[in-house]
Homo-oligomer: A and B are copies of this chain.
Amino acid sequence: MKRNRHPYLFTPGPAPVPPEVLLEMARPVIHHRTPHFAAVLDSVRQQLQPLFGTRQEVILLASSGTGAMEAVVANLLSPDEHAVYVDGGKFGERWGQLIRAHGATAHQVRVEWGRSVRAEQVEDALTANPQAKAVFVQASETSTGALHPIAEIGEVTRRHDVILVVDGITSVGVFEQKMDVWGVDALVTGSQKALMLPPGLAMVALSERALAQASKCRGRRFYFDLLRELKSQRDEHTTAYTPAVSLVFGLHKALELIHAETLPRVFARLLLMAEATRAAAQALGLEILPENPAPGLTAILAPKNIDSGQIVRYMRDELGVWVQGGQDRMKGRLIRIGHMGHLSPFDMLTAVSALEIALGRVGYAFECGAGVAAVQRRISQGI
């Protein structure tokens, strides 16, 4: 970042945090069993509901998103039960690991990385495994940038009378979630993506059906006991265990900013960034991985025979522009650019400009400026 005043953060989480939120978090710490904290907690829990698309209560946890994923597994599946999970990337795979770690049987619906699961695949898995109690899926698979069709899957799980658990870590606050309408029974998210906060806070909402299942569940949990947390947060207006107080204050400010912008505008801003980035990739002769891309991030395939890690490192070390490479089997093949957090469409000019420079350095042949021009065109149409 030799000539930059500061690094540019375009990773698909952590995402940039607004200065207002950073300063809110820098306020002196207060105790968490006080009327002041209670009012803030009540307010953020309520303000989160429209982001989840639910009238159910949102539960806060002091953990990263994986902790919340574990919480729903441990509260909804008993050790000897069965579940179906959609494995279309690293985070889908994680559902399988979590289900097995808690002693339940995990039936995989395998989806090629970058593809979206079809609702029929989930239906087939439930028909083949009638003992399954739940389906676990990502709304947006962060490792591939692919969307999964939650509304359609919700129709299937309702028909089969099983619980639908959705990882919304890169979808809550990114595009419209209709938890109640879609029949989602558990929706999970984390603080460091669209909520414009540092990592360390996670949120879960449970349907009435999920609450009933949790009350019978024999899964092992204590710190992640969601019914105890819900009771404490609802009745005592504080968390069962010490909350991440400064992050809760930061969340209060972030939600104020989000609702001031209004959710439809937030969603439109993110989508515009995603579309501008996709247009840039196309203009540069590059493909994106997902067939049905999520708006939270764009996963671009590196040119043939070029290691994406080289591009990502050059962008980071020489240009001060941070994007992310591929994970696991996509290592060396992907360039993932995030659109979540404190970012605006114009920022994509920077991301794409740096990408072009790095592509030039690694010997890829393209028309210099074509990507930036594509971003510019898409922005000008979108305003």
Contacts and interface: CB of A to CB of B under 8 A. Distances in A.
Interface stretch (A29-37, A123-131, A268-276): A29-37
Which of A65, A66, A190, A242 has the largest count of B CB atoms less than 10 A from its CB?
A: A242
A246 B200 contact: yes
B244 A64 contact: yes
A154 interface: no
Copies of this chain present: 2
Contact of A245 (B14, B242, B322): B14
A79 B201 CA distance: 29
A352 to B, nearest CB: 19
Given A32-B199, A103-B220, A200-B200, 18 more contacts: A7-B28, A9-B29, A14-B31, A14-B242, A29-B192, A30-B322, A31-B324, A64-B241, A64-B242, A65-B242, A66-B222, A98-B222, A101-B220, A190-B242, A192-B242, A192-B245, A199-B243, A200-B245
Given A62-B67, A70-B223, A199 B103 contact: no
Interface in A76-108: 79, 97-98, 101-103
A198 interface: yes
A27 interface: yes
A220 B222 CA distance: 12
A326 interface: no
A222 B26 contact: no
Contact of A29 (B17, B31, B242, B243): B17
A102 B220 contact: yes
Interface of A: 6-7, 9, 11, 13-17, 22-23, 25-32, 34, 62-67, 69-70, 74, 79, 97-98, 101-103, 190, 192, 198-201, 220-224, 241-247, 316, 322, 324
Contacts of A65: 241-242
Contact of A198 (B13, B66, B190, B246): B246
Nearest to A193: B242
Given A63-B63, A66-B222, A67-B63, A244 B28 contact: no
Nearest to A98: B222
A22 B28 contact: yes
A117 B197 CA distance: 43
Contacts of A190: 242
